[in-house]
Amino acid sequence: MKRLVAALTVATFALSGCGVLSGGLRGVELPGGADLGDDPYQVTIEFPDVVDLVPQSLVKVADVSVGTVRSIDVDPQSWNARVTVAVNGAVALPADATARVRTTSLLGEKFVELAAPAQGATGSLRDSGQIPIERAGRAVEVEEVFGALSMLLNGGGVAQIKTISTELNAALTGREPQIRSLLDNLNTLVGALDDRKGEITRALDGINRLAATLNDRRPQIENALDNLEPGIAELERQRGQLVDMLQALDRLSGTATDTIDRSREDVLADLKALQPTLAKLAESGQDLPNSLQLIGSFPFTDAGKDAFAGDYANLYVRVDADAKNLLDNLIRGNTPLSPDLPILGQLPPTAQLLAPLVGGNGSGQPQIPLLGPVPTTTGQGRADPPSTVPRTATPVPPGPTDGSGDPGAPTGSGGRGGLLGGLLGGGR
Identify the residue with better confidence: 89 or 27.
89
* CA 270 – CA 277 distance, rounded (Å): 11
Is the per-residue pLDDT at 125 higher than 80? yes
- Distance of alpha carbon 122 from the chain centroid: 49
Q: What is the pLDDT of residues 49-78, one digit of tens each?
A: 898 899 989 999 998 999 999 999 999 898
Q: Which long-range contacts (CB under 8 A, 24 or more apart) does 352-356 make?
A: 352/383, 354/419, 354/420, 355/383, 356/394
Identify the residue with better confidence: 365 or 60.
60
- Distance of alpha carbon 361 from the chain centroid: 98
> Is 371 in contact with 416 (CB distance < 8 Å)?
no
pLDDT confidence of residue 288: 78
pLDDT confidence of residue 192: 93
Q: What is the pLDDT of residues 202-258, one digit of tens each?
A: 999 999 999 999 999 999 999 988 888 888 888 899 999 999 999 999 999 999 999
Is the per-residue pLDDT at 48 higher than 80? yes
pLDDT confidence of residue 147: 81
Quote the percentage of the chain above a pLDDT of 90: 34
- Distance of alpha carbon 309 from the chain centroid: 50
Helix axes 239-262, 264-284, angle to 10 degrees: 80
Is the per-residue pLDDT at 3 higher than 90? no
Average pLDDT, the chain: 75
Q: What is the pLDDT of residues 263-320, one digit of tens each?
A: 999 999 999 999 999 898 888 888 877 777 777 666 666 666 666 666 777 667 777 7
* Among 364, 354, 351, residue whose Cα is nearest residue 394: 364
Please list, residue by residue across 161-171, b when 16 or more beta carbons sit within 10 angstroms of its beta carbon and e when fewer do. eeeeeeeeeee
pLDDT band at 113; cut points 50, 70, 90: very high
* CA 161 – CA 183 distance, rounded (Å): 23
Q: Write down the domain spans for the chain.
A: 1-30, 34-139, 263-316, 320-374+414-428
Q: What is the pLDDT of residues 177-194, one digit of tens each?
A: 999 999 999 999 999 999
- Strands (E) in 4-87, as ranges, are 41-47, 58-61, 64-74, 81-87
Q: Which residues contact 352 (CB under 8 A, 6 or more apart)?
A: 374, 375, 383
Is the per-residue pLDDT at 332 higher than 90? no
pLDDT confidence of residue 415: 44
* Among 421, 415, 383, 419, residue whose Cα is nearest residue 402: 415
The C-alpha torsion from 117 through 123 and 124 to 129, rounded to 10°, is -90
> Is 82 in contact with 74 (CB distance < 8 Å)?
yes
CA atoms in the 13 A half-sphere facing the CB of 386:
2
Of 22-26, 91-95, 187-191, 420-424, the least confident: 420-424
Q: ∠ at Cα 381 (328, 338), nearest 5°?
A: 35
- Tell me 115's DSSP state: E
> Is 364 in contact with 415 (CB distance < 8 Å)?
no
Q: What is the pLDDT of residues 374-385, one digit of tens each?
A: 455 444 444 444
Reduced to 3 states, what is the DSSP secondary structure of residue 369? coil
Is the per-residue pLDDT at 403 higher than 70? no
* CA 50 – CA 11 distance, rounded (Å): 36
* CA 185 – CA 177 distance, rounded (Å): 12
pLDDT band at 422; cut points 50, 70, 90: very low
> Is 64 in contact with 53 (CB distance < 8 Å)?
no
Is the per-residue pLDDT at 373 higher than 60? no
Average pLDDT of the segment spanning 379-398? 43
Express the helix, strand and coil content of the chain in percent, nearest 5 each: 50, 10, 40
